[in-house]
Amino acid sequence: MLNLDKYTKNNHLKVLVKPNSNKTEILGYNESKKAIQIAINAPSEDNKANIELIKFLHKLLKKKVSIKSGLRSREKLIKII
């Protein structure tokens, strides 16, 4: 399991989302994009992948999280509260 604290800067985490995956899980770190890759078991329509991402990160980090930017993009900036 990847230690997300290592990639968190100023309470922000950059992620690359891959929707429509078989299960929700961390795939690894993308060095060129400087972002954590996360597979999401939800479609991108109707905000379902974003909701699943928030639930997954909240459960993983045990902290409140929100999407600061990238609501309609695969590349997102997550704020950890």
Structure confidence at residue 1 as a pLDDT band (50, 70, 90): low
Residue 3 clears pLDDT 90, i.e. is over it: no
CATH of domain 4-75: 3.30.1200.10
Q: What is the pLDDT of residue 71?
A: 96
Q: What is the pLDDT of residue 67?
A: 98
CA-to-CA distance for 25 and 46, rounded, in angstroms? Answer: 21
Percent residues over pLDDT 90 in the chain: 94
Domain range annotation of the chain? 4-75
Strand 35-39 vs strand 12-18: parallel, antiparallel, or unpaired?
Answer: parallel
Does residue 3 contact residue 29 with C-beta atoms inside 8 Å? Answer: no
CA-to-CA distance for 6 and 2, rounded, in angstroms? Answer: 9
Residue 42 clears pLDDT 90, i.e. is over it: yes
